[in-house]
C-alpha cells in the first residue's frame, strides 16, 4: 500500500452516513482514498448524527447554513453555492490551508466552488495552496440548463435560467482553477473536454458497497410492484416525480401495479403524494434501501433530464431487480439498453414499457440476470480509490 498523501476534502454536507446518491459517491471516494493509503481532513456542514470516520480521516463539521436560498437572487453566486457559502466553513478552510501540510484540495460538488475565492485570497496573501481537484457529480452546465427548460411556470423558469447561468459561470471557474477533474461517467468527461477543459479528466464511476448475492428468480408470487429509489428534495427531482406519477396512475391501476417510492422525501411531499396519488406508497428515509428491493418486479429510473451516473440503476442491477429507465440516463453501465433493461425515450413510453413487461416473467428474469452478471465485478470501490490516490500523488509531485 502506498503512503504519504494528505488531502483536504471540501463538500457540502457530511457524507459518511449517506442518504442520497451524491452522498454515496462522496462517501465512497473518501473512504476508498483513505483505504488506498491517504490521510486527510473532511470539511463539511453537519448533517444529522455524525458517522464514525475511517482511521486516517479527521472530520471538521460546521453548523449548516440557515439563510434562505431566495436571497441568492441578489448575489452573483448560484443558489446552492450562495447558501453553502453563508456559514463558518470559509473560516475553517482558511485555518486549514494556513496550517498547511496538504498535498491536494478536493472541491467536491460544483456548488462548493464558492471556496475558490477564499483560496485565491489566501494566495494573494502569500499562502502556498495545494493543487485543486474538482470532483464533479454532473456536467452541471448541461444539467442546469435542461432543468430550467422543464419548468412550466414562467416566473420559475426565468429564475431557474438565471440560476443555470450562475451555475455555468461557477463550473467554468472550477475548470479554470482545477488541476484535475473527476467525472463520474465518460459522457460527462466528454462534455468537459468539449467545453474546453485542458487539464486531465479522471473518470471514476460510483461503485457498490453492499453484499453481492445471487438474485432470486421473479415468480408469479413476486408482488406486482415497481420500486423507485431516490432522494426527492431538489426541485428537478420533484418535477420529474410528479410527471411520472401522473403518467403512471391510470396504466398502473389498470394493470394492478403497486408503486413504492423508497428514499428521502420531505413530510410535505409525502403528504402530497398520499393525497394526489393514492396508488403509490412512500417510505421516507430508511436505514438500508436494499431491504426494499427483494420483493418487486421492476426498479424504475424516470429522470428525463440531467446527466451523470444514476446510482439507483446500480442498486437495481446488484440486487436482481430488472431496470426500467429513460434511455439517455443509463451512462456508465456495461448494459445493452435494448436487451438488458427496459428503455424508453419519454416518461409515457417508460410507463408503457413497464406495463407491457410486468407479467413477462421470462423476460424480466433474463434482464435482471444479464444485468447482474455484467455489473457484479465492475463496481468495486478499491480500484477507484487507488486511481484517485495515484492521480492525486502525481499532482502533488508536480506542484
Residue 218 placed within a domain: no
- Bridge partner list, 324: 300, 342
Average pLDDT score over residue span 14-34: 94
Count other C-beta atoms under 10 Å from residue 72's C-beta: 22
The enclosing domain of 182 has a CATH number of 3.40.50.2000
Average pLDDT, the chain: 92
- List CB contacts of 379: < 8 A, sequence separation 6 or more: 205, 206, 207, 208, 314, 318
Condensed to tens digits (0 to 9), the pLDDT of residues 121-148 reads: 999 999 999 999 999 999 999 988 888 8
Q: Are residues 175 and 245 in the same domain?
A: no
Phi (first) and psi of residue 383, to 5 degrees? -65, -40
Q: Are residues 142 and 235 in the same domain?
A: no
**What is the span of the domain harbouring residue 61?**
6-207+380-398
Q: Are residues 248 and 371 in the same domain?
A: yes
Q: Are residues 160 and 231 in the same domain?
A: no
Q: Are residues 389 and 357 in the same domain?
A: no
Residue 216 placed within a domain: no
Q: Are residues 297 and 328 in the same domain?
A: yes
Residue 172 placed within a domain: yes
Phi (first) and psi of residue 307, to 5 degrees? -155, -155
Q: Are residues 230 and 191 in the same domain?
A: no
- Model confidence at 27, in pLDDT bands (50, 70, 90)? very high
**Number of folded domains that form the chain:** 2
Condensed to tens digits (0 to 9), the pLDDT of residues 40-95 reads: 999 999 988 889 999 999 999 999 988 888 899 889 999 999 999 998 899 999 99
Residue 220 placed within a domain: no
CA distances from 206 to 32, 132, 135, 147, 226 (A): 11, 21, 12, 23, 24
Average pLDDT score over residue span 200-213: 91
Q: Are residues 277 and 166 in the same domain?
A: no
Give the pTM.
0.90
Q: Of the candidates 390, 267, 386, 384, which has an alpha carbon nearest to the alpha carbon of residue 24? A: 384
Residue 117 placed within a domain: yes
Q: Are residues 357 and 391 in the same domain?
A: no
Q: Are residues 195 and 230 in the same domain?
A: no
* Cα–Cα distance measured from residue 267 to residue 284, given in angstroms and rounded to the nearest whole number: 8
Residue 1 placed within a domain: no
Q: Are residues 188 and 237 in the same domain?
A: no
Q: Are residues 163 and 278 in the same domain?
A: no
Q: Percent of the chain, pLDDT > 90?
A: 74
Amino acid at each position: 500500500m502506498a503512503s504519504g498523501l494528505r488531502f483536504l476534502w471540501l463538500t457540502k454536507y457530511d457524507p459518511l452516513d449517506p442518504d442520497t446518491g451524491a452522498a454515496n459517491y462522496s462517501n465512497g471516494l473518501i473512504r476508498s482514498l483513505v483505504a488506498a493509503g491517504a490521510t486527510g481532513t473532511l470539511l463539511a456542514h453537519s448533517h444529522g448524527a455524525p458517522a464514525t470516520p475511517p482511521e486516517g480521516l479527521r472530520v471538521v463539521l460546521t453548523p449548516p447554513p440557515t439563510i434562505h436560498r431566495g436571497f441568492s437572487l441578489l448575489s452573483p453566486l448560484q443558489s446552492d453555492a450562495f447558501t453553502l457559502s453563508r456559514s463558518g466553513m470559509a473560516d475553517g478552510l482558511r485555518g486549514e490551508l494556513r496550517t498547511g501540510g496538504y498535498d491536494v484540495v478536493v472541491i467536491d460538488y460544483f456548488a462548493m466552488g464558492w471556496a475558490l475565492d477564499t483560496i485565491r485570497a489566501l494566495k494573494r496573501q502569500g499562502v502556498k495552496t495545494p493543487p485543486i481537484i474538482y470532483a464533479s457529480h454532473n456536467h452541471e452546465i448541461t444539467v442546469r440548463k435542461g432543468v430550467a427548460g422543464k419548468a412550466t411556470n414562467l416566473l420559475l423558469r426565468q429564475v431557474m435560467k438565471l440560476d443555470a447561468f450562475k451555475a455555468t459561470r461557477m463550473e467554468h471557474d472550477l475548470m479554470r482553477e482545477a488541476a484535475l477533474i473527476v467525472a463520474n461517467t465518460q459522457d460527462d468527461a466528454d462534455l468537459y473536454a468539449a467545453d474546453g477543459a485542458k487539464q486531465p479528466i479522471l473518470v471514476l464511476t460510483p461503485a457498490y458497497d453492499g453484499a453481492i448475492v445471487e438474485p432470486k428468480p421473479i415468480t408469479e408470487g413476486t408482488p406486482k410492484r415497481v420500486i423507485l429509489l431516490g432522494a426527492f428534495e431538489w426541485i428537478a427531482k420533484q418535477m420529474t416525480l410528479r410527471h411520472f406519477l401522473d403518467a403512471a396512475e391510470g396504466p398502473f391501476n389498470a394493470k394492478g401495479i403497486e408503486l413504492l417510492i423508497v428514499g428521502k422525501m420531505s413530510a410535505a411531499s409525502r403528504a402530497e403524494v398520499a393525497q394526489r396519488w393514492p396508488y403509490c406508497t412512500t417510505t421516507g428515509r430508511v436505514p438500508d434501501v436494499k431491504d426494499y428491493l427483494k420483493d418487486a418486479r421492476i426498479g424504475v429510473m424516470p429522470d428525463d433530464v440531467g446527466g451523470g451516473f444514476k446510482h439507483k440503476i446500480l442498486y437495481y442491477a446488484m440486487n436482481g431487480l430488472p431496470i426500467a429507465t429513460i434511455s439517455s440516463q443509463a451512462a456508465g453501465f456495461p448494459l445493452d439498453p435494448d436487451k438488458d433493461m427496459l428503455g424508453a425515450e419519454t416518461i409515457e413510453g417508460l410507463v408503457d414499457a413497464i406495463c407491457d413487461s410486468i407479467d413477462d416473467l421470462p423476460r424480466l428474469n433474463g434482464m435482471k440476470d444479464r444485468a447482474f452478471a455484467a455489473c457484479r465485478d465492475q463496481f468495486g470501490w478499491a480500484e477507484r480509490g487507488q486511481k484517485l490516490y495515484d492521480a492525486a500523488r502525481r499532482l502533488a509531485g508536480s506542484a
